[in-house]
Amino acid sequence: MEHGKKQKILEVSRKLFYEEGYGNTTVRQIAEAAGVSTSVLFHYFKNKRDVLVHIVREFRDNRRKVVELVGDDLSQFEKRILRLKLILYPMLNDHKLLRLHVDEINEKIIENTGNAPGFMKDLYIDKTDYLDETYNYDELLKYRYYYYLGSVNEITLKFYNGSTPFNKINIDHHIISCFNMFFNIPISEIVSSIKRVERVMNLISFDGFGYRVLNDEISEYIGAGKKLASYDFSKVVFINDIVFSDVDDAAAKNKEWLKENYDKAIILVKYYGLINPVDIKGIQHSIDDFDKQVINSYLLLKDNFAADYFVTGFIDNSKAKVEEGIINQFEKYGVDALKTLYNITICHADNHNVIAQCAFIFYK
């Protein structure tokens, strides 16, 4: 019962801090939402800031568990990159979560969540490099640790105030500059490590304060990029990551059928160059070529994995019939492909003479 009250307070606090902002939420609001008195709240927490400290600790512990789960094949350096991406990626298209992280920075919450906890120490200094007694290992550790935190906080604030566009490219630029300058790691090695980490990131889905890990054979196959190198982007997501819109009653029913029968989707994207934005011949070529690749991928998956698949794409009804019903209309099943791609932060081509083709292969 005691533990239940504390967890209830944390649960409603997460929601209030997220929706209203930390600064706009009072202790009284938290207590009322949790169904307890303020005196009961102060029995578990020193003050509102202490509540945020506990929430940040949970978020940090969740990141650590994810790294332990998916990071077996990563080097210690690559795990550093993974941790940083796990901090920043969930906030890419979630301004409320980004605002809460800024609140965390402003409240200096890190001071109360542990100074370089044991499991993180080796990420900042390899003690074997400093066996000479003239070096103070603890001071070096502290220096690197706070420099790292400061660099993360600085880039987060720049993302928040808009002085630096918040996207995956700039996150990678920050990682490269930070680790090259401070850890003296060659840029080529950092870039190679980022690519390895990105394959692992393809197995992770973000859900507000939490993380969900895709750990089935198909998601691992796609994450490794096997046989799907021809696409510019491929990623497995949970069906809850797909954005749906009810175009009409039929689409609404089809959407519910899709959700009942499938729980994941493989997102495939490929970019094609055009002579100009109205290059009809080039556009038609991109459609025909992409359709063939998607069908080949579908057949490849069927041959390798025993699962039920359902393919959707930007295909009109007549074209779908020609292709034996393999590819189905996005709109017919209420799939909002563009919003989905935006939400999972796919880097779009800025060139107007480039067209993107995409398809979703649902499976269970």
| 223 and 166 in a common domain | no
Residue 193: half-sphere exposure toward Cβ, Cα within 13 Å? 24
Residue 192 is part of which domain span?
59-212
| 12 and 137 in a common domain | no
Look at 82-96, 168-182, 238-252, 304-318 and tell me which has the smallest mean pLDDT: 304-318
Predicted confidence (pLDDT) per residue in 172-194, tens digit: 999 999 888 877 889 999 999 99
pLDDT score of 1:
57
The answer to the question of residue 54 being in a domain is no
Single pTM value for the model: 0.74
Predicted confidence (pLDDT) per residue in 43-79, tens digit: 999 999 999 999 988 988 898 899 988 888 899 889 9
The predicted model gives 69-93 an average pLDDT of 89
Predicted confidence (pLDDT) per residue in 281-333, tens digit: 999 999 999 999 999 999 999 999 999 999 999 876 555 444 456 889 899 99
Residue 172 CA to residue 194 CA, distance in Å, equals: 7
The predicted model gives 215-238 an average pLDDT of 81
Residue 73 CA to residue 104 CA, distance in Å, equals: 32
Q: If you compute the radius of gyration of the chain from its CA atoms, what whole number of angstroms results? A: 24
Contact between 249 and 341 (Cβ < 8 Å): no
The answer to the question of residue 51 being in a domain is no
Instruction: Name the more confident of 156 and 362.
Output: 362
| 275 and 189 in a common domain | no
| 203 and 221 in a common domain | no
The torsion angles phi and psi of 90, rounded to 5 degrees, stand at -60, -20
Residue 8 CA to residue 209 CA, distance in Å, equals: 15
Residue 11 CA to residue 360 CA, distance in Å, equals: 34
Count of other CB atoms within 10 angstroms of residue 156: 21
| 154 and 65 in a common domain | yes
pLDDT score of 325:
66
What percent of the chain clears pLDDT 70, i.e. is strictly above it? 83
Tokens encoding 64: 């650590």
| 175 and 40 in a common domain | no
Residue 215 CA to residue 236 CA, distance in Å, equals: 10
Q: How many domains does the chain have?
A: 3
List alpha helices for the chain, DSSP H: 2-20, 27-34, 38-44, 48-70, 76-88, 95-106, 118-121, 137-161, 168-183, 187-201, 217-223, 249-261, 280-304, 317-322, 337-343
pLDDT score of 130:
41
Contact between 80 and 122 (Cβ < 8 Å): no
The answer to the question of residue 143 being in a domain is yes
The answer to the question of residue 146 being in a domain is yes
| 345 and 223 in a common domain | yes
pLDDT > 90? residue 151 = no
| 27 and 80 in a common domain | no
The answer to the question of residue 137 being in a domain is yes
pLDDT score of 144:
66
The answer to the question of residue 66 being in a domain is yes
For residue 155, what are the contacts with CB-CB under 8 A and spacing of at least 6?
Answer: 88, 164, 171, 174
Instruction: Give SS3 for 267.
Output: strand
For residue 208, what are the β-bridge partners? none
Residues in the chain: 364
| 199 and 69 in a common domain | yes
pLDDT > 80? residue 146 = no
Residue 82 CA to residue 77 CA, distance in Å, equals: 9
pLDDT score of 216:
85
